[in-house]
Amino acid sequence: MNPISEKKSHSLVDFNSVGFSYGKMEILKDINVSLPRGKITAIFGGSGTGKTTFLRLMGGQLRPSQGAVNFDGIPINKMSYRELYAARRRMGMLFQFGALFTDLTVFENVAFPLREHTNLSAKLLRDLVVMKLHAVGLRGAKNLNTSELSGGMARRVALARAIALDPELIMYDEPFTGLDPIATAVIANLIRKLNNALGITSVLVTHDVEVSLQIVDYCVVLASGEVVGQGTPQEIRQSDNPLIKQFINGQIDGPVPLHYPAPDYTRDLGVSSEK
């Protein structure tokens, strides 16, 4: 970890009274969250609770309708294009299904951000790519095409690409989706090991509660666009909040209903209630 960071604030990213809407549709409401520096934070929540919007606000793809999202103390939503471009060089992103370039080899996929953002010599660039691939266990696959990769291997290549520029922050959008149990365990282990080795700050948006609770340091639970709970994995497991208990335990019955709001069932079928 950079020793300079010890003098900085405890958090790398702060959401201060953040709200976001698409027109009249409110997605996030009064979000106050601080993501601890050098730790792994999980953003939990059901589908449509605003998790992906949360990530997009962090990366500056979206600007909050109210409040501010601060990256290392600077409001992302007030950055100029040049400042935002520089800030994004300090961020890495692992997309839900890897988002590898299908026409490039494994080596070239990992080399892409290095070619885009640096002027490294061919030898140094090659050595860095080999090091990143070795870190995720795929040094021997550097010359493969993406079509030759399994789902788990593709996700690991994407992870190597995400750490290519040694970012301070890595955002993971559903990193375990579509993976078998072994590949899931491999990715989870890599996330934890890389975070410890590199001293980076990681943010996971995920539905995979059990695996995530084993590797994260902090949790934020969203429901209906609001933070309904946050704390350590142990605190989240022990929460009495019905919304959190239903999500963590995968319960069918609870505050989140099975049925979307609808008229009376018999009336919708055109059945008279009169006898």
For residue 4, is pLDDT > 60? Answer: no
**Amino acid 17: pLDDT:** 92
Which token pair is 176?
């375990």
| pLDDT tens, position by position, 197-213 | 888 999 998 888 888 88
Whole-angstrom Cα distance, residue 153 to residue 172? Answer: 16
Question: How is the chain split among helix, strand and coil, in percent rounded to 5?
Answer: 40, 25, 35
Tell me the residue ranges of DSSP E strands in the chain: 11-22, 25-36, 40-44, 66-71, 74-75, 91-94, 169-173, 201-205, 218-223, 226-231
Whole-angstrom Cα distance, residue 172 to residue 215? Answer: 13
Residue with tokens 């497991």: 237
Domains of the chain and any CATH numbers: 12-90+167-183+193-275 (3.40.50.300)
| pLDDT tens, position by position, 57-87 | 988 888 999 999 999 888 988 888 888 888 8
Which token pair is 155?
């996700």
**pTM listed for this prediction:** 0.79
- Residue 210, CA distances (Å) to 10, 42, 51, 153 in order: 27, 11, 18, 22
DSSP 136: T
227 touches 243 (CB < 8 A): no
